[in-house]
Chain A
Amino acid sequence: MEHSDGEIPVVRRPMPFEAFYLAEFPTMVALACAVSGSRLAAEDIAQEAMVEASKRWHVIGTYDKPGAWVRRVTIQKAGKRLRRARTEAAALLKLRPDDGLEPGPPDVEEVFDAIGRLPARQRAAVALHYLDGYSVAEVADILECAEGTAKAHLHKARRTLATALREEES
């Protein structure tokens, strides 16, 4: 490909995958847990997303935000896993009783129970916004949707959560 005006193309060198993994993996586990609703499967989901990233790291590592790519894959994998989570949960408990996350305090678990009843995209939007502190624009970028759609997800999710948690409190 020709570059006009004698412009020298900038070749970006990927950051070391190891550093990226160590920095991002815990957050990916938390994200997978929130989106899949499965404390048992979260680590596997995050690990699968990281494996995908490592296979393409020569490309993904050069992105401005490689973390966004991994979050996108984690959310997609977690969404799929959610559908199998219920049936797998019992088997996983039998196989690896100590391998999942410990449950949180009751009020925290109530919040995650309510989040677990949201549609998948709303769950993902909430997790990205409250776990990672992403703005609406950044959530939209990761979910590959328009800002208006991301805003709608967050708005509907918050409305549903407000109702659900108030009911539980009452």
Chain B
Amino acid sequence: MTLDDRLHRAFSNLETRVNEKLAERPTPDISPEPTYRPSDRTWKILAPIAAAVVLLVAIGAAALLLRNQPDPVPPAGEVTTTTAAPGTTVPPPETSLPPTTQAPPPTTEAPTTTVPTDAFPADAFAGVTAVRAGADGVVAHGAGGATTLVDAPAVAAYHDGRGGLVYQLGSFEGPGEFREILYVRPGDVEPQLLVLGEDEIVRLVGVFDVQGEPHVAFTVTSGSSESRRDTLRMLGLDTLGVLDLGEVGFFEVGLMDVSVAGEVVVIQTSGEGIVQNEARTLDGEPKELLNAPELECAFIGVGGQECLLYLNITDDGLRYVAVAWSELEGDAADLVVIEVGTGAEEHRVPIGEVIPRDVDVEWPYVVVNTRSDIGAPADAYLVDFSDPGSSRVTALPGVGVAGAVRPL
């Protein structure tokens, strides 16, 4: 009997046993629970009362507004450059920075403070090692505790490398809930709109330097499920020029190491290993890999059942850092960081499915994002490799997707 025959026979037998077992039981009642709907009679009673309440509230709000008319503010156009990438639509200006009276979100670390001015502060990233996007907004985490930078639900946030913040609004309910990508620089009162996907799904991937200019990388998904097309694009934060880097996969987490030589190394991972690692020109054309080793989907062999998740190649093309997770045990996973030439270091990261991001050989922090049962983000952890002898794992308070922040 061949292996295929044995496997087919085993699964067929299993299915038969399940059916037999379930057939012994009565069919469960799986009809939907009744939902409360007010009857017509209820509406007849409630409608006039509701209308009166609404009218009273409206009159009160109008009176309050007239009494507390704020000082005139400069038109949004004077402080905000509203620009959207090609193929997108520009919405009305929107302010997502937290109001000065906003209460800080709860945290188990140091006390949370709120940005004390209307403008985005110049020192927002002082002492910050990670920035996290979640339902509670964009929060910077560091030695000084947690600081809310954006007071609106967000799905991704990255430092621009010079004191500014690029972030994407939305919720993790699904890609359809991902909204516009915004950019706020020190001194800005309102964020600048960078990308708005209306008939497409836009995902912020990160911020990378391309020949000295920070670029926002994002994917754009268009078409129906049958004709879906995902492209990788970059938008220069100074020139606002758009680079089309060609098609990528939808489910893979696209991570890139950007060379200074006019090429981009696109690394796509599946959560299990590297799917594709290729160089492209800034026009999205394939290019021979010169500065990075050719890699296939890699399952690295350090111990048991590890899978490579992230790879970072330095500009000299000689060293790289790989991050992987090994088989889960209990509520923890072993995170393995390998630097070629110096061997591997293993660290235990609490809780299940992990997605390491933002690691390089010069900056000693690895941010590990975890995912919950149904794929939504869970807690994020910061692994500190600055002291190889005593590296430690710290949980960032709050759920969301986090990225490491390098000092200015």
Contact = CB atoms under 8 A, between A and B. Distances in A.
Interface of A: 1-2, 4, 17-18, 21-22, 25-27, 29-30, 33-34, 42, 52, 54, 64, 72-73, 76-77, 80, 83, 101-102, 104-105, 107-108, 111-112, 115, 119-121, 126-127, 130-131, 144-146, 148-149, 152-153, 156, 158, 161-162, 165
A162 B3 contact: yes
A96 B289 CA distance: 59
B51 interface: no
A126 B14 CA distance: 14
A73 B330 CA distance: 20
Nearest to B22: A26
A111 B31 CA distance: 37
Interface string B260-271: 000000001011
Nearest to A56: B374
Given A77-B373, A146-B270, A101 B11 contact: no
A33 B16 CA distance: 13
Contact of B6 (A2, A152, A165): A165
Contacts of A145: 251-252, 270-272, 275
Contacts of A33: 14, 18
Nearest to A109: B10
Given A30-B18, A101-B21, A108-B14, A149 B7 contact: no
Contacts of B297: 146, 148-149, 152
Contacts of A156: 299
B225 interface: yes
Contacts of B249: 146
Interface in B369-387: 373-375
Contacts of A76: 373-375
A141 to B, nearest CB: 8
Given A30-B18, A83-B330, A119-B327, A144 B375 contact: yes
Interface of B: 3, 6-11, 13-15, 17-19, 21-22, 27, 30-32, 198-199, 225, 249, 251-252, 268, 270-273, 275-276, 297, 299, 305, 327-331, 352, 373-375
A18 B30 contact: yes
B159 to A, nearest CB: 28
Contacts of B327: 119
Given A73-B373, A144-B251, A144-B271, A26 B11 contact: no
A27 B15 CA distance: 7
B32 A17 contact: yes
B11 A131 contact: yes
Contact of B14 (A21, A30, A165): A30
Contacts of B14: 30, 33-34, 101, 104, 108, 112, 131
B5 to A, nearest CB: 11
Nearest to A21: B30
B3 A165 contact: yes
A98 B352 CA distance: 32
Contacts of A112: 10, 14
Contacts of A102: 17, 21
B268 A146 contact: yes
A104 B13 contact: yes
A149 B18 contact: no
Contacts of A158: 3
A68 to B, nearest CB: 11
25 contacts: A1-B198, A4-B199, A18-B31, A22-B27, A26-B19, A27-B15, A34-B14, A42-B18, A54-B32, A72-B375, A76-B375, A77-B373, A80-B373, A101-B17, A112-B10, A115-B10, A130-B10, A130-B11, A131-B11, A131-B15, A145-B271, A145-B272, A145-B275, A146-B297, A158-B3
Given A18-B30, A145-B270, A149-B272, A108 B13 contact: yes
A161 B375 CA distance: 29
Nearest to A107: B6
B30 A54 contact: yes
A108 B15 CA distance: 12
A76 B7 CA distance: 22
A153 to B, nearest CB: 8
Contact of A101 (B18, B199, B270, B271): B18
| Residue of A1, A105, A131 with most partner-chain B CB within 10 A | A131
B18 A121 contact: no
A30 B30 CA distance: 20
Contact of A83 (B22, B31, B32, B329): B329
Given A18-B31, A121-B272, 15 more contacts: A2-B198, A18-B30, A22-B27, A25-B22, A27-B18, A29-B22, A30-B15, A34-B14, A64-B225, A80-B373, A101-B21, A108-B9, A130-B10, A131-B11, A145-B270
Given A18-B31, A76-B373, A149 B270 contact: yes
Contacts of B252: 145-146
Contacts of A115: 10
A170 to B, nearest CB: 14
